[in-house]
Chain A
């Protein structure tokens, strides 16, 4: 018999919680559990893990039973672009300095919009990089390198 997922939202959410529950229980089993009277560091997490596992499992099973909506993601573009904007900032900040990291951050973030136009993205990158530098480095005095350091 083929299993059909009738409610994608419930099924995948349930599956996610179920897996997290399993990881929690497996990891927490490595800590000492103790007794109710003298609880070890593993006691409470294991309890939570089992609860999560049961509720997650229940939700997933319900997703097979009850009808409902599937997941609708119209475009992966915002997700990919915004997360790569943050990650590129993280990677560029130390080797290349704040200004280059900010330019990359804002430009990539702009790419996340369907109404992206290269002209405004370039202008916005420079404008925001200038504002952020003035505000955070010169006004608030955050210790950040403007350019690559030696």
Chain B
């Protein structure tokens, strides 16, 4: 009884209090006041959305940086012999430093300034005009500095991916010069064409050949993967390849790195929504399923082919799936993502285990087999599976949504995707060849035979990854 009484009393008190509140507020709500309050409310709503988007984009930026260091550094570091582990990790880390500085000076401007169809201009030299206000052409709700720093993380990981092709034999100085030139001659133009204002391939901003590339299938993976192949062919094989055994010195390190890549990729793909809304969720989900299916695809084919499903196979497959789902992430639902992943896993396994040995090139850590092949496949499959139900990117003059991919009836899109891929291949091949030639004749590309035998950790950096003295 006392409890019920208490409850009744509480109710009465609350009622009295709230009716009192209404009595206080109601008479003050004049007409002019209402519109002022509405405007304030709208501003607050916009601020809240901006804060939410910005929180996710800053988180995503950090996630994508984590993909390079330590993610990729560990993934690649474990795959080389132990005398070269630091050199490979250092190459990834050097990108975090060098490309960042270049980006602040002029890289961002060349990629995302207005410019031409092919490359940006110098309007943002030294980050001039890159403020805390939004740049509506790219993202209306986040500060342009957030957009700039997010895009920088992509500019870092892309050249870092290439290092897998020339691991264990390229001079550090040559690598550094190569990457500086590559960033200007290949990455910035390609990023501008696909994502920049007025870019030739920009699907969102009315490019001439609208290529669907949600998170960088062509910009990141095709350019890096194809450039990697060119590097592997130009530099030649490592001493002793393929007769000498060169097994990974620690699949454990690679395993940790690959799992970090998987997690970081949520920032890469879901962050490419440039907002924290439903599109980010969709891309997140597609990314996850693509990776999972590809791990099964690679390890499954390996199991059938070799009789065992290896840990290295499973993690390589997951990475291949992440590569292939990258252009598609914001355009496809979970089921197409599973298909894309499964196909990518099996396809990249064949590229790495069969095609590479058939042609005999020494793409040491399979940068081409995973990123070049997986990226190209993913770009084409995006043209097939893209759905306007996920992302209504194409609209007619009246604002009605048009079909996105081939399955929806837009057969032309596969052609657009092929144009995007062809341009990425072309710019990567030509750009990389020119840069390799320049570096070759100026400072030379390869370490000496003695240095290669000694290992790059000692010869290039004067240190060892694992310093095991007998006594302490």
A interacts with B:
no
A binding-site residues for B, Cβ under 8 Å: none
B binding-site residues for A, Cβ under 8 Å: none
